[in-house]
Amino acid sequence: MMKIIESPDPILASVCEECTPGDKSLIRIAKQMAKLMYSNNGCGIAAPQVGLNSRMVVIDVDWDGEDASTKNPIFLVNPVIEELAGDPVIDAEACLSCPGISVPVKRHPFARVSYFDLDGEQWEIEGDGLLGRCLQHEIDHLDGRTLFESCIPEVKLKALQAYDQARKMGAKPGDTSIMVK
């Protein structure tokens, strides 16, 4: 059974290996990842977050959290950031692998990413706002970067301390009760 891997598990610090576009085994894995993402109220999940050293992510920033008919997951195999644009913006981010906290992260507001779908066809996706931020966050996971490496440096120590506190209080993936400032 697939479960969310939590920091500081070393797999989260690993640079992931490329997948074979069109590999049919990815379909089952991707659907399990999406199910896990939705059941934990996430808007994105990367393969290392479920213990897999593979360059694959699932994103759905439009799901309303309740109505199943609004689910529209995007499966990205071997995603590559092609362009980041706009003046970087600091905003709060949470992560299924770092439950209980959200931290300020500085990111470009726009991202353009090339990727393969589950059938092996090549695509590009671009987005700003939450989609742009989510694309960057999930691809960070594929490159071994966690929320703690991505947060603004001034709050990293506070974020680690808050995460330790959240874990002691029993935080589960999807919880974001402590906002680090």
How far is residue 100's CA from residue 39's CA, in Å, rounded to a whole number?
Answer: 16
CB 59 within 8 A of CB 76: yes
SS3 assignment, position 86:
coil
Is residue 82 flagged as an active site residue? no
19 vs 11, 25, 29, 67, 167, CA distance in Å? 17, 10, 12, 32, 33
By C-alpha distance, which of 137, 178, 135 is closest to 160? 178
Contact 91, 181 (CB under 8 A): no
Set 6, 138, 149, 154: catalytic member? 138
Q: 10: which 2 tokens? A: 């070393």
The set of catalytic residues is: 138
